[in-house]
């Protein structure tokens, strides 16, 4: 059991001016008896978020800021924070206050008992039915496609030991699917359960298009099974095509004229079906090629414009 330690709280923020004050107040109350640092990663905010953070950082040196040059995305901002923490453990939390900061002491207790990773599992969540449904099927689809099980009903709100954070920061790949990589490492895990609240203020930064893109990135980054599914689909459609050819020849040779003459309907259905299969397969292959292309460019995942109290 660690008697002396520092906890790093990593908070990616993008246009969260209405949430900064209540978030910091609740974090400080939750960590009142624990040494901590608050590391905010400003991911290209265009409102007063950065101004408010700078004011808070002047008042409290435990509040640190990294401001990126533009919006690089939530996962890249999170990795930027992980690369700059100094604590014995780090906890990522979003600024929208959907995840309760009051659970942090419970997470630290689990960590002190020996867990390397402590997930905040969502027991209930105050979201729309569509958001709940898509989140439910996302994790089930990921676990169906992945060789490494990913804990269901968790997000980025989790505690991880310093060696887990270092492991993530040292990985050479650029576009990291963090939730999958954390599970892939095989570290000792534990969980606490939370009731997820509604967003405190502002609008969600994950509309449907971003949710779909995030799911695709996760699948492509963490599994090659879609390629195998495309291969199996090719075999099945080829088999169906071969059966269709044999049947057509049989009808032509052994049945009378009125039985083997076919109309346009069957032809159109066959062409559209095969065309759809081909386009889906090409799209799957294209996603993997695009992933490799981005990796070979070797561009940084983010650019830092300013650091405060670091």
Q: Which of 33-47, 181-195, 244-258 has the lowest mean pLDDT?
A: 244-258
Per-residue confidence at 50, pLDDT binned at 50, 70, 90?
very high
Residues sharing a CB contact under 8 Å with residue 47, sequence separation 6 or more, in sequence order: 15, 17
- pTM equals 0.79
- Burial of 71-86, coded b for 16+ CB within 10 Å and e otherwise, reads bbbbbbbbbbbbbbbe
Instruction: Give the position of tokens 């995305």.
Output: 73
Q: Are strands 158-161 and 117-125 parallel, antiparallel or unpaired?
A: antiparallel
Residue 158: Cβ-neighbour burial (10 angstroms; 0-12, 13-18, 19+): buried
| Residues β-bridged to residue 19 | none
DSSP reduced 3-state for 3: coil
DSSP reduced 3-state for 201: coil
Per-residue confidence at 37, pLDDT binned at 50, 70, 90?
very high
Q: What dihedral angle (degrees, nearest 10) is formed by the CA atoms of 129, 123, 29, 109? A: -150
Cβ–Cβ < 8 Å for 89, 83: no
What is the structure's pLDDT at 270?
74
What value does the mean pLDDT of the chain take? 84
- For residue range 229-266, what is the model confidence (pLDDT) as tens digits? 888 887 887 787 778 778 777 777 776 655 555 556 66
Between 270 and 200, the more confident residue is: 270
First to last CA, the chain: 29
Mean pLDDT for 158-187 is 89
- For residue range 116-141, what is the model confidence (pLDDT) as tens digits? 999 998 887 666 777 777 777 777 77
List the alpha helices (DSSP H) in 60-145.
Answer: 74-82, 104-112, 129-145
- For residue range 88-101, what is the model confidence (pLDDT) as tens digits? 999 999 998 888 99
Tokens (6 digits) for 27: 């974090």
């Amino acid at each position: 059991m660690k008697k002396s330690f520092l906890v790093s709280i990593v908070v990616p923020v993008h246009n969260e001016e209405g949430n900064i004050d209540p978030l910091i107040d609740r974090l400080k109350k939750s960590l009142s008896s624990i040494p901590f640092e608050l590391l905010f990663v400003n991911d290209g905010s265009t409102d007063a978020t950065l101004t408010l953070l700078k004011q808070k950082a002047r008042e409290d040196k435990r509040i640190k800021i990294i401001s990126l040059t533009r919006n690089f995305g939530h996962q890249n901002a999170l990795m930027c924070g992980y690369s700059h923490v100094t604590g014995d453990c780090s906890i990522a939390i979003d600024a929208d206050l959907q995840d309760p900061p009051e659970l942090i002491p419970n997470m630290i207790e689990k960590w002190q008992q020996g867990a390397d990773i402590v997930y905040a599992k969502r027991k209930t969540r105050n979201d729309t039915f569509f958001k709940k449904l898509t989140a439910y099927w996302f994790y089930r689809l990921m676990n169906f496609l992945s060789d490494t099980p990913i804990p269901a009903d968790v997000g980025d709100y989790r505690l991880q030991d310093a060696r887990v954070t270092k492991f993530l920061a040292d990985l050479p790949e650029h576009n990291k699917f963090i939730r999958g990589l954390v599970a892939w490492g095989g570290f000792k895990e534990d969980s606490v359960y939370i009731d997820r609240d509604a967003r405190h203020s502002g609008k969600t930064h994950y509309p449907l298009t971003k949710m779909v893109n995030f799911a695709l990135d996760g699948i492509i980054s963490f599994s090659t099974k879609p390629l195998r599914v495309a291969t199996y689909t090719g075999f099945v459609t080829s088999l169906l095509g071969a059966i269709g050819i044999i049947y057509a020849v049989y009808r032509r040779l052994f049945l009378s004229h009125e039985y083997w003459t076919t109309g346009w309907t069957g032809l159109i259905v066959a062409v559209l079906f095969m065309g759809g299969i081909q386009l889906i397969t090409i799209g799957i292959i294209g996603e993997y090629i695009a992933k490799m292309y981005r990796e070979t460019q070797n561009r940084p995942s983010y650019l830092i414009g300013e650091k405060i109290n670091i």
